Amino acid sequence: MQAQATPVKVKHGLAAGPAAAPQRADWTIDQGWDNYTPEQHAVWKTLYERQTKLLPGLACDDFVEGMKNLPMSADEIPNFENLSEVLMRKTGWQVVAVAGLVPDDVFFEHLANRRFPAGNFIRGAHELDYLEEPDVFHDVFGHVPMLMHPVMADFIQAYGKGGLRAQSLGKLAELARVYWYTVEFGLVQQSEGLRIYGAGIASSFSESTFSVQSDSPNRIGFDLERVMRTNYRIDDFQESYFVLDHLQDLLALAQTEFAPYYERLNSGPTYQPGDVLPTDRVPHRGTGSYHRERTAAAVVKV
């Protein structure tokens, strides 16, 4: 099946830089929950209802379970303090408000201390599928349910600690690919079939079906070094998704010593998003039709 084209320009906004000068050194702000307008709550409701209707059978059990136990509903944009109270009891995490992207080192420092920085703003009603920076729907609906899972909770903290180290070694790009292909765009093999656990997918209406059901993308068994050598797309659906056998595999990943990997990555190839290697385990070899059509359209326009 073919996903419809979406107007997503820069997914998750990682091409954009952090905003200007923060008030606090850690870049957090008050969520300002009382300042949300009825229109903003209504955008949340539209997105929430659309996505909760779609996700059964697509999102993994742990995502659905996490969601069920959080103070989150269609009615209003969640209050970060209420979320944090429940999260703290379950996995020791908190949700803190930020105005948009924050610098890498600030982001990592929060994660390393089990604080998840979430954008406090929400996209406009006229741009439901367009995201320049991670907003409250992506950050809260997409990420927070999995932070209820002890393994994901430990993994994201480890990523924060590893990020600070990777930065000092000049290996951030390689480490960021791990986050991208797991926390953001990860799929997991469940006994009933392939399921979503990545927040970038779970918060996207069109990519939820594309990632799991379309013939177009490759679905490749997760391999750490392979992933660390693979570029990703920030402007469109992924050409390849990497699939974990079990969510528990993230536990080993969180405990992995990255130094030998960084050493090996000093030589050898870098792969492009759509590459499939002879050494890959390939549960599904994609037709590539979606991105081929997009490229053809772009060429015609020029």
Q: From the candidates 84, 109, 110, 143, give the one annotated as an active-site residue.
A: 143
Q: Please state the closest distance from residue 232 (CB atom) to ligand HBI, in A.
A: 12
Q: Which residues bind Fe ion (CB under 5 A)?
A: 134, 199
For the window 125-154, what string marks contact with ligand HBI as x by the rule CB under 6 A?
A: ---------x--------------------
117 binds, among ligand HBI, Fe ion, none (CB under 5 to 8 A by kind): ligand HBI
Which one, of 175, 194, 284, lies nearest residue 240 by Cα?
Answer: 284
Q: Which of 12, 84, 110, 203 is catalytic?
A: 203
Give helix 150-169 / helix 172-179 axis angle, nearest 10°. Answer: 160
User: Nearest distance from residue 14's CB to Fe ion, in Å?
Assistant: 9
Which tokens in the block code for residue 142? Answer: 């997409």
Whether the CB-CB separation of 282 and 221 falls below 8 Å is answered with yes
Vertex 80 angle, CA 202 and 144, to 5°: 25
Active site residue 216: no
| Cα–Cα distance measured from residue 150 to residue 65, given in angstroms and rounded to the nearest whole number | 12
Question: Is residue 179 at the binding interface for ligand HBI, with CB under 6 A as the rule?
Answer: yes
List 3, 72, 98, 136, residue binding ligand HBI (CB under 6 A): 98
Question: If 0-12 CB within 10 Å is exposed, 13-18 middle and 19+ buried, where does residue 288 land?
Answer: middle
Contact call for residue 112 and ligand HBI (CB under 6 A) = no
Q: Which is nearer to ligand HBI, 62 or 174 (CB)?
A: 174
> Whose Cβ is closer to ligand HBI: residue 91's or residue 203's?
203
Other beta carbons less than 10 A from residue 63's beta carbon: 25
The interface mask with ligand HBI, positions 14-53, x = CB under 6 A, is x---------------------------------------
Q: Is 227 exposed, middle or buried (0-12, 13-18, 19+ CB in 10 A)?
A: buried
Catalytic residue among 184, 206, 208, 239: 184
CB of 144 to ligand HBI, least distance (A): 13
Are the C-beta atoms of residues 134 and 107 closer than 8 Å to each other? no
Give catalytic status of residue 41 as yes or no: no
220 binds, among Fe ion, ligand HBI, none (CB under 5 to 8 A by kind): none
| Whole-angstrom distance, CA of residue 217 vs CA of residue 274 | 8
- Whether 110 is catalytic: no
Say whether residue 102 binds ligand HBI (CB under 6 A).
yes
Q: Which residues, other chains included, contact 123 with Cβ-Cβ below 8 Å and sequence gap of 6+? A: 43, 130, 131, 135, 137
- Written as one letter, the residue type at 254 is A
3-state secondary structure 21-46: CCCCCCCEECCCHHHCCHHHHHHHHH
- 203 labelled catalytic: yes
For the chain, first and last CA: distance in Å? Answer: 28
Binding ligand HBI (rule: CB under 6 A), the pick from 104, 132, 236, 249 is: 104
Nearer CB in complex with ligand HBI: 47/199: 199
Choices 101-109, 150-158, 235-243, 288-296; region in contact with ligand HBI by CB under 6 A: 101-109
Q: Which of 117, 160, 186, 274 binds ligand HBI (CB under 6 A)?
A: 117
Which positions touch ligand HBI (CB under 6 A)? 14, 98, 101-102, 104, 107, 117, 134, 176, 179
Tell me the catalytic residues: 138, 143, 184, 203
